[in-house]
Chain A
Amino acid sequence: MAVVDMMQAEYQKRRKSQIEAIKKTDKKLLREMLYQMVLGRVFEEKAAEVYRMGKIGGFCHLYIGQEAIAIGSMMALNPDDMVITSYRDHVQAMVKGISPEAVMAELYGKEGGCVKGKGGSMHMFSKEHEFFGGHGIVGGQIGVGTGMAYAAKYKESGQVTLCFFGEAAVNQGIFHESLNMAQLWKLPIIYICENNQYGMGTSQERAMSTRNIAKKAESYEMANEFVDGMDVMAVRDAALRAIKRAREESLPTLLEVRSYRYMGHSMSDPGNYRTREEIAKYQERDPIVLFQDSLKTAKVFTDKDFEAIRQEAIEATKKAIEFAEESPYPSESELLSDVYA
């Protein structure tokens, strides 16, 4: 059975209890989760559009299809918890609190960007929001995130670290070096493998000798879970368990969150390595559609609410574009600043 079909079967099994759980969940939180997912979707669609217009340069890796991962996990954090991710970072940046304006202006390479136009799509950062970037070397942030968790433990700050990476990064040495140290030294970190099934154009099957990434944690005697990345509530539940483990026992967890990337690896991806049918099959389990369906079944929200949320997201994205358009380019004095502290 294909993994997507197994995930759907599992989803059907837990759906009833999940709807009961949704009924008991804070409505404000549910609304915010849905809003962030829709905002992530609308924002990225707009980014693709303006990229094609030449407004955004360089690389631009979009998150469309993967929203449930960032929202499900990050919205289970405390505000002072730390997050680090790969170059596919726009949505994580916004969920952590960086404004859509500052993210879009960064994509435009403008002064109003969250890092003053010096990082671009792959390098969103905000110290204020404990968002540690935005990193462009596959897997590099896994080691850096491990160090953030090390610092939290050293300082006894009580913070946990969420460290995101794609499944292709699991083949890098740094993944294994990091997991070994994290378990050895009992660090409060959650490694979130966003398994979107393709490392650029190479499928997991063509790049990895094993299928089950979560189980790799067992080589390090680390707690792990396989999670349906199209089901935001499932991601949230798994994240809550891992966060509790990190916060209360100072222990790491590896979550393999199985998802799917609708768009190409970056905006310059021809997409000739997979079929339209395959994409359509995953889109049937679209995370926003699934979540809205559950919310509706649970009688928490109606179609009218969904439309209002969508309009809000469209409005926020519009404002982000306006801000980015109007923000000036960085002054040339920025060229040589921030090289040394």
Chain B
Amino acid sequence: MALLTIRDALNQALREEIIRDENVFIMGEEVAEYDGAYKVTRGLWKEFGDKRVVDTPITELGFAALGVGAAMAGLRPVIEFMTFNFSILASDQIINHAAKMLYMSGGEFKVPIVFRGPNGSAFQVSSQHSQALEAFYANFPGLKVVMPSTAADAKGLLKSAIRDDNPVIFMEQERMYGMKGEVPEDDDFTIPLGVADIKREGTDCTIVARSMTVPMALEAAEKVQQEFEVSVEVIDPRTIKPLDIDTIVASIKKTNRLIIAEESHSFASVGAEITYQVMDRAFDYLDAPIKRISTVEAPMPYAKNLEAAALPSVDKIIAAVKEVCYL
């Protein structure tokens, strides 16, 4: 095991896959000479050169489209969006083209491509740079959506995403790039897409969290354990689509309580979907209404206090635990 930041774990995954498969290349704004806007691609251009690490003009729709065509013609592009907010410019290519290509071509053309970059809020970057878009992309059949929360998951899942034959939306979190974790040193270490991970075992209440809300949920779990002796289980689906609902349902059958913590807005969110699936599969096991912590229904404000108030937090999660446990 090596102690790595999420940033360096992602960097290792990219490096190893570029070495492993000559058809893998990474393309995006400032990924090469600048070393990546968030340094995820640091050193790769120096090591591999212009062919494998490609700086693009600021032309998100254009380079997303180029990636789709290149994938159809046999390459395995990794397209970096400086943030997923900018992917909205490219969403025609992601949704109308990449997601549908295999189906509408009757299985003739697969699109093995990864669209990756930071998703969700950062540090006071305001309305147009703080969106969590996983529910948007998860809505479209044909796309896979991945959201790691640890360094090991980041590395193992990114390697799987690059090897996957489908378009994969791989969502990182800017606030988490510096977080450290143990990562296996095996350069063939992968984590399969579609498998949830129980980040903390517990018996009284289940929290389903993803990306930035995972460390929040773990901290909340420790606090309620100490303060109220409530044992919280924290599940990270890791892959939003396909969703490992079985692991969530099994946990609820044990704890009988569910909280969902997510960084996206609440309306029609992934949490809303999980809530439906749990109602469908485990209604009789619930001892309390499902609670959900999301970002408020407003664009992200700039002011530090307002931003904090808009987002999920450890305190909000603790309050929800108390509510579902009737404390």
Contact = CB atoms under 8 A, between A and B. Distances in A.
Contacts of A151: 69-70, 72-75
Interface stretch (B58-66, B173-181, B183-191, B203-211): B58-66
Interface in B48-98: 51, 56-57, 59, 61-75, 92-93, 96-97
B70 A150 contact: yes
A148 B65 contact: no
Given A147-B67, A181-B57, A338 B103 contact: yes
Given A146-B69, A341-B166, A115 B105 contact: yes
Contacts, number: 144
A341 B102 contact: yes
Contact of A146 (B62, B104, B108, B142): B62
Contacts of A173: 61
Given A151-B74, A338-B102, A338-B103, A140 B65 contact: yes
B242 to A, nearest CB: 8
Contacts of B68: 143-144, 147
Q: Give the interface size class of chain B.
A: 35 or more
B96 A119 contact: no
Most buried by B among A144, A151, A339: A144
B61 A174 contact: yes
Interface in A132-157: 132-137, 140, 142-152, 154-155
Interface stretch (A56-64, A121-129, A228-236, A275-283): A121-129
Contacts of A134: 104-105
Interface string B88-129: 000011001100011111111110100000000000000000
Given A140-B93, A180-B57, A146 B65 contact: yes
Interface string B23-57: 10100000000000000000000000001000011
A147 B72 contact: yes
A143 B61 contact: yes
Most buried by A among B69, B97, B112: B69
B21 interface: no
B165 interface: yes
Given A123-B104, A340-B166, A140 B142 contact: no
Nearest to B74: A151
Nearest to A159: B73
B141 interface: yes
Nearest to A118: B106
B269 to A, nearest CB: 22
Contacts of A136: 96
A131 to B, nearest CB: 9
Most buried by B among A132, A143, A147, A151: A147
Interface string A276-312: 0000000000000000000000000000000000000
A116 interface: yes
A148 B102 contact: no
B66 A147 contact: yes
Interface string B267-289: 00000000000000000000000
Contacts of A135: 97
Contacts of A148: 69-70, 72-73
A177 interface: yes
Contacts of A146: 62, 65-66, 69
A140 B92 contact: yes
Contact of B64 (A143, A184, A337): A143
A170 to B, nearest CB: 15
Nearest to B101: A133
B102 A119 contact: no
A149 B51 CA distance: 14
A187 to B, nearest CB: 9
Contacts of A174: 61-62, 65, 92
A114 interface: yes
A82 B73 contact: yes
A20 B26 CA distance: 51
Given A137-B97, A339-B102, A147 B141 contact: no
Q: Ordered nearest first, which 9 A-B pairs have the shortest CB separation?
A: A147-B69, A143-B65, A177-B62, A115-B106, A151-B73, A341-B165, A125-B105, A144-B69, A147-B66
Given A119-B105, A174-B92, A181-B62, 4 more contacts: A115-B107, A132-B109, A143-B66, A181-B63
Interface of B: 23, 25, 51, 56-57, 59, 61-75, 92-93, 96-97, 101-110, 112, 141-142, 144, 165-166
24 contacts: A82-B73, A84-B69, A115-B107, A119-B104, A119-B105, A123-B105, A125-B106, A127-B109, A140-B97, A143-B61, A143-B62, A143-B69, A144-B68, A147-B67, A151-B75, A152-B73, A154-B75, A177-B59, A178-B62, A178-B66, A181-B57, A339-B103, A339-B141, A341-B165
